[in-house]
């Protein structure tokens, strides 16, 4: 007998997938654990305040909050590692988008700390430098967050639409927070503009899911994640949309700006939960 015909033939790929399902084997997947949620939540607030600090009077209050948020975010990202002691080993990997996200988060933390020291009178003469460095680092950090999970095996995540959404989300939070103590006549038009941008980017992302990850879109529409998706839309679209009518009735928009900031912050939490819940990885199985 020919030796080449001795032995069991390899199983087709789809039979191996069925076998995995019967054995209830779980594939490795990312999860929206608490450190990741805290990292995104606090860093989004800090980035929004960093960008908006250029357009509002200097405030030691918001700079202190932004710096504290970045310290908490960076600490959460370190504790997310399975072995936190390997943080300095991981940080030298120049090819990983996730590493660049952490590097820019650390750089933004340092810049905000220096900016806070300037407000405290410890580093005089460098106010403009720290102000604009925090501005650009905040933008670069949000861009890196949008690129960090663009893996080929996760089509729902591989899109630059998320970069635009993170920028708009941070601007909404930063603008709302600053408006609580610095009322301005542009509250309604700017809020409406950011709200429209948010809605447009969400529609673009839903269209992206329709083309690349129909299962993920189905989970949003009729699956078990419907409640979270509704909560997300209420927090980032419905409540901000209702608040845009407040300036028609009163000039004191400070309390309503605080509600807008809280609603947008909650939207960040729901967004990140959905981000990982909608993960539908594509597995490339070998022939053997």
Please tell me the distance from the alpha carbon of residue 47 to that of residue 99, in angstroms, as a whole number. Answer: 18
Q: Is pLDDT of 184 > 80?
A: yes
Mind listing the pLDDT tens digit for each residue in 90-109? Answer: 666 666 667 778 888 889 99
Please tell me the distance from the alpha carbon of residue 108 to that of residue 87, in angstroms, as a whole number. Answer: 18
Provide the pLDDT confidence category of residue 35 given band limits of 50, 70 and 90.
confident
Q: What percent of the chain has pLDDT over 70?
A: 78
Provide the pLDDT confidence category of residue 52 given band limits of 50, 70 and 90.
very high
Mind listing the pLDDT tens digit for each residue in 191-210? Answer: 999 999 999 999 999 898 88
pLDDT of residue 27: 47
- Pick from 15-29, 50-64, 121-135, 219-233: least confident: 15-29
Domain regions of the chain by residue span: 31-148, 153-283
Mind listing the pLDDT tens digit for each residue in 123-168? Answer: 787 888 989 999 999 999 999 998 887 777 677 788 899 999 999 9
- Pick from 35-39, 167-171, 181-185, 281-285: least confident: 281-285
Query: Which helix or strand (DSSP H or E) is residue 56 part of?
Result: none
pLDDT of residue 62: 92
Please tell me the distance from the alpha carbon of residue 275 to that of residue 148, in angstroms, as a whole number. Answer: 13
CB 260 within 8 A of CB 240: yes
Residue 119, CA distances (Å) to 59, 112, 114, 126, 259 in order: 8, 11, 9, 10, 27
Q: Note the pTM of the prediction, 2 decimals.
A: 0.82
DSSP secondary-structure letter at 182? S
The pLDDT of 33-43, averaged and rounded, is 89
* pLDDT mean across residues, the chain: 82
């Amino acid at each position: 007998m020919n030796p080449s015909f001795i032995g069991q033939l390899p199983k087709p790929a789809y039979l191996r997938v069925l076998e995995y399902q019967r054995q209830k084997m779980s594939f490795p997947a990312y999860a929206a654990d608490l450190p990741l949620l805290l990292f995104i939540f606090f860093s989004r607030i800090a980035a929004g305040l960093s960008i908006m600090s250029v357009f509002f009077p200097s405030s030691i209050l918001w700079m202190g909050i932004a710096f504290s948020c970045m310290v908490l975010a960076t600490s959460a990202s370190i504790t997310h590692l399975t072995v936190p002691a390997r943080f300095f080993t991981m940080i030298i990997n120049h090819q990983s988008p996730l590493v660049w996200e952490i590097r820019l988060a650390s750089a933004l933390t340092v810049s905000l700390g220096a900016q806070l020291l300037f407000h405290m009178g410890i580093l005089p003469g460098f106010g403009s430098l720290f102000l604009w460095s925090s501005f650009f680092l905040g933008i670069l950090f949000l861009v890196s967050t949008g690129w960090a999970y663009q893996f080929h095996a996760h089509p729902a995540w591989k899109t630059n639409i998320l970069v635009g959404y993170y920028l708009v989300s941070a601007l909404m939070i930063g603008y709302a927070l600053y408006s609580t103590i610095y009322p301005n006549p542009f509250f309604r038009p700017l809020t409406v503009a950011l709200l429209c941008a948010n809605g447009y980017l969400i529609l673009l992302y839903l269209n992206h899911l329709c083309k690349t990850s129909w299962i993920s879109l189905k989970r949003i529409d009729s699956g078990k994640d419907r409640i979270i998706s509704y909560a997300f839309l209420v927090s980032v679209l419905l409540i901000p949309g209702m608040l845009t009518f407040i300036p028609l009735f009163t000039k004191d928009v400070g309390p309503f700006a605080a509600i807008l900031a809280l609603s947008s912050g909650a939207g960040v939490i729901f967004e990140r939960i959905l981000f990982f819940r909608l993960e539908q990885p594509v597995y490339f199985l070998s022939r053997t």
